[in-house]
Amino acid sequence: MIRAMNTLERAEAAERAQMEELDRLVIMKSVIYVSGESDPRVPMQRPPSEGKTFLMGHDPRLPRMPEKPTLFDFFRLRFGPANHLLQSARLAQKNGLSEKLVLACLLHDIGNIGFIRGDHGYWAAQLVEPYVDPEVMFAIRYHQALRFYPDESVGYAYPESYIKLFGPDYRPEPYIERAYKTARDHKWYMSARQLTVNDLYAFDPNVKVELDEFTDIVGRHFRQPEEGLGWDDSPSAHMWRTINWPTRYL
Ligand SMILES: [Fe+2]
Ligand SMILES: [Fe+2]
């Protein structure tokens, strides 16, 4: 008689199956993951591929995403810890900002917690642009530049932490300076500025905020595509797919 597997045996079997799957696959890293650590002009070492196939979808080392992933699925299964974003969104709420700007605060750093650090405000803005009000996109995009420039009218000073992080002599590049000026003259300047105000103070390791607190706001202001993020053919769908399947060969 065949005995049903207990929990431990099931876990072990699943792990074995995963190891076998990994054995059959060649998983390559994109240039960008190693650029800086290695010279991109030097051809990358190819792992032995005899009898194997190159990964063209889900990476078995990662938690599997649902077939139609939502924004929160990305938060839970692909983004790094989002405490800072959650705290920032809650602070914005406490300060009486509009729901749209609370959403902007919730999403403003998904570039660096989920994708790429450099120019993170631009990447995050592009990721969400098809799904949010243009003002939300604008605030996220321009927080990249505005955070380097004080605005006494709202009590925003150049962040102390930046002096430590980048040294006292760091000056933003000309393109950041230009973006700052563009934002300054824009009707949504204050929206982007409010994001920086609610961003800076949102680092408290003792405050725990749950994603579910923002279910309603996201429901009202983030146009979740029916097909799932990444499968909806929007201008940024490929970026969501890459976050979902970061090691796909082509
Ligand atoms: Fe940021
Ligand atoms: Fe931030």
Task: Quick: pLDDT tens for 92-147.
Answer: 999 999 999 999 999 999 999 999 999 999 999 999 999 999 999 999 999 999 99
Rounded to the nearest whole angstrom, what is the distance from the C-alpha of residue 67 to the centroid of ligand 2? 30
Least confidently predicted of 50-64, 161-175, 190-204, 221-235: 190-204
Average pLDDT over residues 196-205: 80
User: Whole-angstrom Cα distance, residue 250 to residue 185?
Assistant: 42
Distance in angstroms (rounded) separating the CA atoms of residues 15 and 115: 27
What average pLDDT does the segment 156-185 reach? 96
How many Å lie between the centroid of ligand 2 and the Cα of residue 121?
Answer: 9
93: phi then psi, degrees, rounded to nearest 5: -65, -45
Q: CA-to-CA distance for 114 and 117, rounded, in angstroms?
A: 9
CA 106 – ligand 2 centroid, Å: 9
Q: Of the bound ligands, which one is closest to the alpha carbon of residue 121?
A: 1
Over residues 78-96, the mean pLDDT reads 95
| C-beta of residue 143 within 8 angstroms of C-beta of residue 121 | yes
**Dist. CA 90 → ligand 2 center (Å):** 13
Amino acid, single-letter form, for residue 135: E
- Do you know the residue count of the chain? 250
- Which ligand lies nearest the alpha carbon of 201? 2
- Give 156's DSSP letter: B
CA dist 12 and 18 (Å) reads: 10
Global pTM value: 0.92
- Which ligand lies nearest the alpha carbon of 203? 2
Decide if pLDDT at 202 tops 70.
no
Contact partners, residue 169, CB within 8 Å, separation at least 6: none
User: What's the CA-to-centroid distance between 200 and ligand 1, angstroms?
Assistant: 9
**Distance, CA of 157 to chain centre:** 26
Distance 226 CA to ligand 2 centre (A): 29
More confident residue, 223 or 16: 223
Residue 205 above 80 pLDDT? no
